[in-house]
Amino acid sequence: MSLQLNTCPQALELIRARVSTSHFNPAFEIDDDLVADLIGHACEAPSAYHLQNWRFIAVRSREGRQKLCDPAYGQHQVKDAAVTVIVIGTLDGYQRIRANLQPLVDAGHMGPEDLEAWANDTHRGMHDRPAKQRDEAIRSGSLAAMNLMTAAQALGLASAPMGGFDAAAVSAAFGLAPTELPVMLVAIGRPAPGNWPRKPRRPVGEVLSIV
Ligand SMILES: Cc1cc2nc3c(=O)[nH]c(=O)nc-3n(C[C@H](O)[C@H](O)[C@H](O)COP(=O)(O)O)c2cc1C
């Protein structure tokens, strides 16, 4: 018998209601506070070792959109959405692990020796391991992007994840450091008519093994 756990049905509704939006209302605008609010929700995502190995560029200005248009292969969401967020994963995020954990020490949740052990563990796991650094950059960036889309949905906005972009061209256009990887573009705004309905998913029985 399964438990009936249904303490926040709205959260499940949001997950089910999100769709990738192709057509955005170009007249709808998002102010700085709302952009910051959305990014704050993105940053609530978990990350390995609590790396928080991400950065975000919110492309909203006309010049910014023009710069992003070609690297995003002319995808029109960039032109029409209120903002397109470049979700960036950082390869060297592990180097600031002590700063990330210090607030836990300050709050008395973690002892200084625990911080030291955690930081050393992180360094061992991440330093001189480019594949691991890239994996974690993509994992963290993807989780942050998902949070961003769910938060947008919760705030009555539509979103569009995009992996169709030239990473080197995005990096060059927006001055990303060699240690920064553009993971995903997420366009956010209000939908215009003409979008696809929600696409059905493969049945759970086809994709799940319980062992
Ligand atoms: C990592 C990733 C990259 C994607 N890249 C693009 C893209 O470049 N352009 C686009 O129109 N849609 C893109 N999509 C949207 C997918 O096509 C869409 O998520 C999928 O068809 C399922 O539809 P839904 O999001 O509406 O449920 C991308 C989605 C993901 C998760």
Q: Is the pLDDT of residue 127 over 70?
A: yes
Expressed as residue numbers, the domain containing 122 is: 19-191
What gap in Å lies between CA 54 and CA 130, rounded to an integer? Answer: 16
Nearest of 185, 147, 136, 189 to residue 165 by alpha carbon: 185
CA 177 to the chain's CA centroid? 18
- The pLDDT assigned to 95 comes to 97
10 in a domain, yes or no? no
Across the chain, what does the average pLDDT equal?
A: 97
Q: Which of 20, 84, 148 to mutate to test the pocket of ligand 1 (most atoms within 8 A of CB)?
A: 20
For atom 27 of ligand 1, which residue has the closest CA?
Answer: 19
CATH of the domain at 37: 3.40.109.10
- pLDDT band, residue 151 (cuts 50/70/90): very high
State mean pLDDT over 87-108: 97
Q: In terms of pTM, does the model score above 0.95? A: yes
The tokens of 69 are what?
């248009």
| Ligand 1 atom closest to 72 (CA) | 8
- The pLDDT assigned to 166 comes to 98
What gap in Å lies between CA 159 and CA 171, rounded to an integer? Answer: 22
Instruction: Name, in order, each residue with C-beta under 8 angstroms of 20's C-beta and a sequence gap of 6 or more.
Output: 159, 160, 161, 196
211 in a domain, yes or no? no
58 in a domain, yes or no? yes
State mean pLDDT over 199-211: 98
For atom 6 of ligand 1, which residue has the closest CA?
Answer: 162
> What's the number of domains the chain is made of?
1
7 in a domain, yes or no? no
